[in-house]
Every structure is written in structure tokens, then in C-alpha cells.
Amino acid sequence: MKKIFATFAACTLLVLNSAVVFGWGPKGHDIVAAIAEKHLSDKTKTALAEMFDGHSIVYYSSWMDGIQNSPEWTTKYSHTKTWHYANVDKGETYQTMKKNDKGDVVTALTTMTATLKTYYPDNLYRISEDDIKMIVHMVGDMHCPMHAGRLSDLGGNKMKVRWFGRNTNLHSVWDSKMIDSARAWSYSEWCEHLDVLDPEHVQMYWAGNFEEWFMETVGNAAKIYEYVENLEEENPNLSYQFVYDFSPMLEDRLVVAGIRLAYVLNSIFDPEANVTFAELAEKFYTE
């Protein structure tokens, strides 16, 4: 009986481990979507509420991970498998990195949103729920540091570390363990405590494009790799000190991702809202 249980436990762990390979865990995606909701224009909010029959974007924030277990995965969604990340080796940029033939988070977001923006204002009905659920998820993943990790270690998946004494890898630490260890907050409490930026800062984060936003994440990943490598330990044990040192980065990534997700959704459903904000930003910087 014990042996059966041990085998079951090992299988469960294997499933859990493979499940967390693909992005922020559910809480990270919920936080990003909840922050985004606070920055949507009324018109965008209405369009999304109609599209999702009253469900929120938080409700669908991890849908793109979930579909990998759906019966429709092979026939309908398997082409999205690599759209959660882009792996960039040390010293490379998105421009110079070896691109994945099957696509990556930057290409997927860039092409998808470029198409959706052309539907405004008369053809918004052509936008599918799936498109929006994917955008909600991918903007989150794009800001998760190890989703811009190195190709040589598969985004930190092959970089063995311990987390409070337990064996894991650097990718898994950033998907969910950092969030769970940093605070005992619910996703809505994270949102409440992080989303305190003044409007000028919000507009500042709206500048740039997907590639530039992604390169910020590459910079985050580089700092994490450097820190871990400087420990000069085989299988280093990361714990309280790591949580303390990297909490500011974690908070920054979550809040910036949320704000940018709102910008992207507004740019699809209510571009005038963003223009107004941009004009305000320009005024702020020229005064």
C-alpha cells in the first residue's frame, strides 16, 4: 500500500512539475488580470463583459494553460504550445536570438494584436473569445522573468536549485513559489496593495512595444541568473534572503504586466481611451 501511495505521489509531482512549466501560476495570472481590470476604459469593460457573458478576465487568466489538458488541444490549440515564452541565451537579444519556428510569446502577441486592432470600430464582432483569453495570458507570461530565460537551460527548467530546502528549479521558483512565499495574500489583496501607481507612472509603462517589454524581462532574468551564479554553489538553497532581494522585482513585474494588459485591451476595444491617456502623458513630460 505504501509503495502504491509513493508511486501515486511521484506521478502527481511529475504532473504538477510539468504543469508549472508554462507560466506564472494561476495566482500570478489572476493578479495581472485583476490589476488590468482597474485600468480598462468603460467601453472596453462593456465589450469584455458582453464577450464573456459577465465573467471577468481574471476568470480566464489561466485558460491558456488549462487548454493543454482539453480534448481540443490536438485539433484546435496545439499550435499555441510555444507561445508562453521566448528563450534568450546570455548576451542575446530578441533580435539576435535563435527563433523558435513554432512561434513565441513576442511574435504571437505582436501579430495577434495587430490583426485585432484592424477590426475597430466596425468589425469588433470578428474578435473571438479565444483571442482575448490568449492575450490576457500571454501579456502576463511575457513579464514572468524565467519566460525570458536562457535557451541553454530551457528557461531555468534545467537550473537546479532548492527552495527552502526542497529540490526544484529556477523556472518553477518564478512561476509560483516566489509569489506564494513573499506574501500570504489572495490575488485581490495583491492587486489592492500593488496597484497604487499615480496616473503618470501608469502612462509611462504604456510606452514601448511587445519586443521592448519582453527585453525588460530578459534584463530581469539576467539579474536572477547572475545572483544565483554568484552564489557559486551546486544546487543552491534559495530562501528568505532571495525572497527579500527579489520581491521588488516580483511586484514590479506583476503591476507593470497588469497595466500593460489594460493598455493592450483598450487599444483593441477603445483606442481613443489610450490616445487620451497618451496626450495626458505628453503634457506631463513637457511641463
Residues in contact with 106: Cβ distance below 8 Å, sequence separation at least 6, in sequence order: 86, 94, 142, 210, 211, 214
Which residue's CB is nearer to Zn ion, number 136 or number 273?
136
Pick from 25, 28, 67, 84 the residue near Zn ion by CB under 5 A: 84
Pick from 23, 25, 28, 156 the residue near Zn ion by CB under 5 A: 23
Which residue's CB is nearer to Zn ion, number 22 or number 277?
22
Binding residues for Zn ion, rule CB under 5 A, total 4
Tell me the H-state helices in 75-209: 105-117, 129-142, 170-172, 178-182, 187-194, 199-206
CB 150 → Zn ion: shortest distance, Å? Answer: 18
Instruction: Say whether residue 171 binds Zn ion (CB under 5 A).
Output: no
Residue number with the shortest CB distance to Zn ion? 23
Which residue's CB is nearer to Zn ion, number 150 or number 171?
171
Query: What is the enclosing helix (H) or strand (E) of 275?
Result: helix 271-286
Which residue's CB is nearer to Zn ion, number 41 or number 253?
253
Instruction: Say whether residue 187 binds Zn ion (CB under 5 A).
Output: no
Residues in contact with 87: Cβ distance below 8 Å, sequence separation at least 6, in sequence order: 97, 100, 148, 149, 150, 151, 154, 155
Pick from 20, 21, 22, 173 the residue near Zn ion by CB under 5 A: 22
Per-residue binding string, Zn ion, 110-149, x by CB under 5 A, is -------------------------------x--------
Task: Find the angle CA(218)-CA(13)-CA(164) to the nearest 5 degrees.
Answer: 60
Specify whether the CB–CB gap between 58 and 214 falls below 8 A.
no
CB 83 → Zn ion: shortest distance, Å? Answer: 8
Q: Residues interacting with Zn ion, by CB under 5 A?
A: 22-23, 84, 141
